Amino acid sequence: MGIIEINNFSQDFGDKTLFEDTSFVLNPNEKIGLTGVNGAGKSTLLKIIMGEVLLDKGTFYKNPRYRVEYLDQHAEVKGEDTIKEYLCGAFKVLFDAEKKLNEVNDQLASETNPGKLEMLLNKSGDLFEYLTSNNFYSIDSEIEKVAAGLGITAFGLNTQVKTLSGGQRAKVMLAKLLLESPDVMVLDEPTNFLDVNHIEWLTKFINASDKAFIIVSHDTQFLNNVVTHICDVDNNKINKYVGNYDKCMATKEAKRIQHEKNYEQQQREIKKMEDYIARNKARAATAGMAHSREKMLNRMEVITPPSEQIKPTFSFKYKEFAGNLVLKVEKLSVGYNGKPLLKPISFEVENGDRVAITGFNGIGKSTLLKTIIGAIPKIDGTSTISRNIVVGYYEQENDFHLFEGTPLNYVCQQFPKLNEKDVRTALSKCGLNSVHCRKQIKQLSGGEQSKIKICTLVLKPCNLLILDEPTNHLDVFAIDRLQQAIAEFKGTVIFVSHSKQFVKDVATKVINLENL
């Protein structure tokens, strides 16, 4: 049997059917990429796998010999632990064994009874051998290796975890999971807060591992490089393909085209039979043939119609700007509490530029953007946005956990002059239907929440878009449409993205903060 088997299961979420009579199987050593549009049910499937959600219908089996762990980027980290102490938690069992070894050795120092002395010596030897065979005395170097690979050492292993940004915290959580090395690692958008070098390191780590993985990611290049299979959630079914992302999507597209042909052909046959039955059923001479065809029609297994996916149509409204210079930054120093993250930086942005801000995660890209828009104070230098510039800002993190309302409530609060019909239309264009509009925002997927933020951008005319990791959580269709919307926008764009392909396709100018 597989490590995880979910057979013939169905699952609803509210009034929406996510899965219907479908199955999922994970076998040893498989590296599965879990794909599908935003809201298709990927997050719900992960919760079923982790035992957080019970099946509505079907059977669930998890092999008890395998340990399954989940990377949850939204989990809260409490306490005063430093990054190093938090990562050491991955080896708790070994540290507990070391504590026992020290206790046994303390007893050895004072024990005089020969029988007890021999028993303690055997116990001490067993514990030492256990620690040695599990590389306990190499823990520090292992932590250093993983922390360096993911760029964590850049913000210091003695930093308290609770002081980290959301992106930094996500990297630390990923590092701990990799250090724990469970039999199955479930990774939800692991590359969201990694730059190119750290994605390459993670790719090599996964490829070298003999563990099984379930990976949700909208980074198709990453999936191409690490997965052995794709499980694609589409039309309430899970379809499993062998190969990388591109190969599997080509197979899926071929199946879709064939399905459409079969459906259209069957619909023509059904129409032809229905017409014949209607014309001949009442005539005595042909009634027998008509009844015979009616029985054939009733027995026919009708092909389900092709699914229609909700595809967003983002379009940013442009506010006229006649000047050339949009932004001038001179010897700008950014950081927190008077401590700069970067060397002083100077650059200019002209009207129509598409400027990508790049650099390793934690270097200060988001801090720079927030300083430019005035969300946090500068340390020194100047940052001047030209007159008549109207900024549309997309913040990296989906901070909706304190908002209790629906997408409709949220957007109406942001734009009180718009009527409900206009807001619904705007949300629909961003890929959020009436079902999404009725749910609480905190019940929606990360991608659906991102589309709410984009909706607030498309409703506000501007001439400078400042986007901080706008592709995080978005599915492939939404990313393509976002890229197209940026290309069609007549104004200026400054953006941060970890996606090498997105930067290559969108940017006309790149500012690499590592080269200051």
Task: Give the pLDDT mean for 3-31.
Answer: 93
Task: Give the pLDDT mean for 12-34.
Answer: 92
Nearest Cα to 191, choosing from 508, 513, 502, 504?
A: 502
Percent of the chain surpassing pLDDT 70: 97
Look-up of token digits 């609060």? 413
Parallel, antiparallel or unpaired: strands 212-216 and 16-26 = unpaired
Angle at CA 60, nearest 5°, toward 54 and 62?
110
Cα–Cα distance, 459 to 422 (Å, whole number): 10
Cα–Cα distance, 226 to 218 (Å, whole number): 13
Which residues 6+ apart lie within 8 Å of 299 measured at CB?
none
pLDDT value of position 197: 86
Decide: helix, strand or coil at residue 8: strand
* pTM of this structure: 0.74
Q: What is the DSSP secondary-structure string of 132-188?
A: HHTTGGGHHHHHHHHHHHTTGGGG-TTSBGGGS-HHHHHHHHHHHHHHH--SEEEEE
pLDDT value of position 308: 64
Where residue 111 falls among pLDDT bands split at 50, 70, 90? confident
Cα–Cα distance, 369 to 376 (Å, whole number): 9
Nearest Cα to 50, choosing from 229, 187, 237, 239?
A: 187
pLDDT value of position 446: 83
pLDDT value of position 456: 94
Least confident of 83-87, 131-135, 144-148, 512-516: 512-516
Look-up of token digits 């990297």? 171
pLDDT value of position 78: 67
Cα–Cα distance, 473 to 167 (Å, whole number): 13
Higher-confidence position of 377 and 442: 377
CATH number of this structure's domain 325-515:
3.40.50.300
User: What one-letter code names the amino acid at 501?
Assistant: Q
Where residue 283 falls among pLDDT bands split at 50, 70, 90? confident
Q: Which of 12-16, 124-128, 203-207 has the highest mean pLDDT?
A: 203-207
Decide: helix, strand or coil at residue 514: helix
* Strand (E) or helix (H) holding 113: none
Contacts 24+ apart (CB under 8 A), 203-210: 205/149, 205/178, 206/31, 209/181, 210/29
CA dihedral 431, 436, 437, 442 (to 10 degrees): -110
Question: Can you read off the two tokens belonging to residue 369?
Answer: 């953007």
359-412 confidence digits (pLDDT tens): 877 788 999 999 999 999 999 999 999 999 999 999 987 677 677 899 999 999
Task: Give the pLDDT mean for 140-156.
Answer: 92
Average pLDDT taken over every residue of the chain: 90
179-217 confidence digits (pLDDT tens): 999 999 999 989 888 888 899 999 999 999 999 999 999
pLDDT value of position 477: 86
